Amino acid sequence: MTGLLAGNPAEIFAVALLCAGVAMAGYRLVRGPSLPDRVVALDLLTIQGLGLLTVYAIAAGRSAYLDVGIVLTLVTFLATTAFAYYIEKGSHPEERRDG
Amino acid sequence: MGDIIVAVLLVVGSSLMFVAALGILRMPDLFTRMQATTKAATLGVGLLLAAAAVEFGNLAVTTRVIAAAVFIAMTAPVAAHLLGRAAYFLGVPLWEGSVRDELRGRYNERAHALASLEEELGEERLAPGRATRRGIVSDDFSERPKPGDSAGAPEGTS
């Protein structure tokens, strides 16, 4: 099994839904009214990417893609934590009243 | 048999991921979006990883899959909690249909601590006027429902 389109229907279905999910999360990433909205969208985007990597690992028969997914998860968690830390640091009421 | 299990896990997992994406697209405010994405996406990705474990069926892949799934299940709630807390301090408005905001007026905005914690520390108590979150951010905030507004609502509606 080489290409995705040569795969079985379940894999094609999964890839189609995951791609639709990436598109929806990308819309929220662009449109999101506030910064935390964008961070949540980025989080979901990378989780959808992890799902795509997993499906591709199954379709291509190569388990090395799962390692990429694990690293992606680690980086995503650190990114979300860092974003949350700096969003909270930047939300002091004194600074916001001055501004 | 294994192929059928893999196919079912793939379909259910990707459907849950789709539900998570639908949630982030259609939910009305940040907090509902977060509760949609965190849980559905965690379960969906767990099922997709389980499909990979069944497909490859050897010890090395299964170990990595379990490690990845446990890591996601442990970090996703932590990240969501941190981000929700930060967003609340930032003043992201709640959906206008929200029934209850339990934290309203109970947080010390400077110390980022609960008012009850502040009492324990022996500092001065939050004055009621000081404790409103009005004036921190945009005018959307004044429309945030007060706890008293929902007092007449029946308990089961939330």
A-B contacts (CB, under 8 Å): 174
> pLDDT of A10-44, one tens digit each?
899 999 999 999 999 999 999 878 889 999 999 99
Q: Residue B60: what pLDDT?
A: 92
What is the ipTM score, two decimals? 0.84
Q: Is the pLDDT of residue B71 over 50?
A: yes
CATH annotation of A9-98:
1.10.287
Spell out the domain ranges in chain A.
Answer: 9-98
Residue B54, CB-side half-sphere exposure with 13 Å CA sphere: 17
Record: contact A10-B34, CB cut-off 8 A = no
> What is the tens place of the pLDDT at every residue in B81-123?
999 888 888 878 888 877 777 777 776 666 666 666 655 555 4
Q: What's the average model confidence in pLDDT over B133-154? A: 45
Please check whether residue B39 touches A, CB under 8 A. no
- In chain B, domain spans: 2-90, 94-147
Q: In chain B, what is the straight-line distance between the N-terminal and C-terminal CA atoms, in Å?
A: 44
Residues 43-102 in B contacting A (C-alpha not used; CB under 8 Å): 44-45, 48-49, 51-52, 55-56, 60-61, 64-65, 67-68, 71-72, 75, 78-79, 82-87, 89-92
* Continuous segment of H or E residues that includes residue B113: strand B113-114
In chain B, % of residues over pLDDT 90:
42
